[in-house]
Copies of this chain bind each other. A is one copy, B any other.
Amino acid sequence: MTINEAKEKLAALQQKQAAFAHASSLIYYDGVTGAPKGVADNRAQTLSVLSQEMYLLATGKETVELLEFLDANRAELDRCEARQVELLLKDIRMMQKIPMEEYVAYQRLMVEADDVWHTAKEKNDWPLFEPVLQRIFDTHKKFAAYCAPDKAPYDYWLDRFEEGLTMARCDEFFATLRAHIVPLLQRVLEKPQLDNSILHGHFPVAEQEKFSLELMKLIGLDLDRVGLATTEHPFTISFGSHLDERITTNYHEDDFSNSMYSVIHEGGHALYDTGSARELAYTVLDGGVSMGVHESQSRFYENIIGRSRAFCEYILPVAQKHFPALAGRSADELYRALNRAEPGLIRIDADELTYALHIMVRYELEKRVMAGELEVRDLPAEWNRLYHEYLGVTVPDDKHGVLQDSHWSGGGIGYFPSYALGSAYGAQYLRKMKETVDVDACVRAGNFAPINDWLRERIWQYGAIFRPGELFERAVEEPFDPAVFTAYLEQKYTELYDL
């Protein structure tokens, strides 16, 4: 095999993997959008066959030999090819350690779990979900032991979602957040609460749909490449990164801001995925590098842009065109309503200030279950206890508690810290971006191009070429510092609540 033949095979391998990923993702997406209710068995069957094919393709002798050959000839690879080989080998070495039947059984478990979780949440039935979640945690522990026997299992999974992340780093990070957010929230709660009556009224779904498309265009999404659908839980999914991306939202007729923030949040993910350089198409480098960086894009758009005063000034007249209920209201009223800080039960409804506390509950629980210090069956009680301790709220039932998120049923143990990390990354983007871009003026004018150009140039275009830490430091030209985030929060809420 010559090096050029090997490079061609490397491209063909990734094209195949991209096709399988497209097919598998679409089957999942169909399951939560158009599919009839009773077909999860068929979906599970197809996904298990496809995952078996993907496993065999990735771990097959031909693939392993190819990648080892390329790895041995790194000097002749360009930066992208070298990183492709690195990531593929990392994945393969992981997969090789997991017996195929267990890998395929896990894919099946995910389909089953998704189904069971939906029902359990709907019926507020924790005992229905518990045995499935037990199997998920057990499998995650087992896979971690196969793949990284020298690591704590939870560290293995944190690293899967954010290369380089560990419990030690999380503990420190969350301690910093807690030290600032808890007293800040206390000061906020001593003040008179902000009025959010502007958010409540009648906002017909049909108009919200039109508004969603307008928002997507506004923030710079190409509607020819990015689709919108409605699902119970908003998410973003890629069928080919910059080539075909879908976001979903969920409409509440009594509060238009709910879907607005889903669209902006998921839109931020989609901007990142579709912002990859064209030449990354059909390679493992296409799309985002990690969930932390991904959430930094979505939460930057949702909060730092979307909950800014400038955004409220731009968006109010746009929203008023769609919703007569907003007539006569001011941008300041909207800004204050959208930033009302209030401890609550539901993570996705949380404001920018209390959000991280919701994440900390999940982090604590995951960490302890993965370490064997907490039993799955004790999760609801412990969830409720921590919500009381961190947020001061009483959880009335599991539907509004431990059953609220789809992450665990989707295998996302170790994912949650990405949200908080992403929020903190975003504050540093903003500080750096402001050196060259008048962010407020752009947002106030509905002109997102300079903001997107900055993000594209420093982050999006690179896909997974750089590791997350390196990508972040190149973008902001300094190390990660959560104090920038807490300072941002302190400034914002001091002004808002006149502290």
Seen from chain A, the residues whose Cβ lies within 8 Å of a Cβ on chain B are: 15-16, 18-19, 22-24, 26-27, 29-30, 33-39, 41-43, 45-46, 49-50, 53, 222-227, 229, 239-240, 243-244, 246, 282
A27 near B22: Cβ-Cβ < 8 Å: yes
Tell me whether B42 and A239 are in contact (CB under 8 A). Answer: yes
Cβ-defined contact, B36 with A243, below 8 A? no
The distance from the CB of A153 to the nearest CB of chain B, in whole angstroms, is: 31
Q: Pick the residue among B19, B26, B35, B222 that contacts A49 (CB under 8 A).
A: B19
CB-based contact B22/A225 at 8 Å: no
- Inter-chain CA distance A226–B35, complex, in Å, is 8
Whether B23 contacts A240 by the Cβ 8 Å rule is no
- The answer to whether B227 touches A41 (Cβ under 8 A) is no
> Complex: how many Å from CA A15 to CA B53?
12
Bound CA–CA A243/B16 (angstroms) = 27
Most central of A22, A225, A243 by chain B CB within 10 Å: A22
Which one of B27, B43, B46 contacts A18 once the chains associate, using CB atoms below 8 Å? B46
Contacts A22-B27, A26-B27, A50-B23 given; does A42 touch B227 at CB 8 Å: no
Report the separation of the CA atoms of residues A226 and B27 in the bound assembly, to the nearest whole angstrom. 16
Closest to A41 in B: B243
Known interface pairs A30-B26, A33-B34, A37-B224; A42-B244 also in contact (CB < 8 Å): yes
- Beyond A23-B23, A34-B33, whether A16 also contacts B49 by CB under 8 A is yes
How many copies of this chain does the complex contain?
2
Residue contact A36 to B223, C-beta cutoff 8 Å: yes
CA distance A34 to B16 in the complex (A): 24
- Are B229 and A36 closer than 8 Å at their CB atoms? no
B46 lies within 8 A of A19 (CB): yes
Can you name 25 A-B pairs with beta carbons within 8 Å?
A15-B45, A15-B49, A16-B53, A19-B49, A22-B27, A22-B46, A23-B23, A23-B24, A23-B27, A26-B27, A35-B227, A36-B225, A36-B226, A36-B227, A36-B244, A37-B223, A38-B225, A39-B225, A39-B244, A41-B243, A42-B239, A42-B240, A43-B244, A46-B239, A53-B53
- Asked if B22 contacts A240 (CB within 8 A), the reply is no
Q: In the complex, what residue of chain B is closest to A227 when comparing beta carbons?
A: B36
A19 and B50 contacting across the interface, CB-CB below 8 Å? yes
Chain B residues closer than 8 Å to A229, beta-carbon distance: 34
Q: Bound complex: CA of A224 vs CA of B36, how far in Å?
A: 5
Q: Give A103 to B239 CA distance when docked, in angstroms.
A: 24
The minimal Cβ–Cβ distance linking A207 to chain B, given in whole angstroms, is 15
Of A16, A26, A43, most B-chain CB atoms within 10 Å: A26
Alpha-carbon separation in the docked complex, A79 to B34 (Å): 36
Residues of B within 8 A of A19 (CB): 45-46, 49-50, 53
CB distance from A186 to the nearest CB of B (A): 46
Q: How far is the CB of A52 from chain B (nearest CB, A)?
A: 9
A35, closest chain B residue (CB): B227
* B34 lies within 8 A of A22 (CB): no
A61 CB → nearest B CB, Å: 16
Measured CA separation A282–B45 after assembly (Å): 9
Q: What 3 A-B pairs have minimum CB-CB distances, sorted nearest first?
A: A38-B224, A19-B49, A23-B23
How far is A86 from B286 in the complex, measured between Cα atoms in Å?
43
Q: Which residue of B lies closest to A21 (CB)?
A: B46
Q: How far is the CA of A229 from the CA of B229 in the complex (A)?
A: 13
Q: How far apart are the CA atoms of A498 and B53 in the complex, in Å?
A: 64
With both beta carbons as reference points, the residue of chain B lying nearest to A240 in the complex is identified as B42
CB neighbours of A43 from chain B (8 A): 244
Which of B18, B22, B46, B222 makes the CB contact (< 8 A) with A38? Answer: B222
Q: What separation, in Å, do the CA atoms of A16 and B38 have in the docked complex?
A: 22
A225 to B224, CA, bound (A): 31
Instruction: Give the CA-CA distance A38 to B244 in the complex, in Å.
Output: 8
The one of B15, B16, B18, B34 that contacts A246, using a Cβ cutoff of 8 Å: B34
Q: Using CB atoms, name the residue of chain B closest to A224.
A: B38
Q: Residue on B with the closest CB to A51?
A: B19
Task: Tell me whether A35 and B244 are in contact (CB under 8 A).
Answer: yes
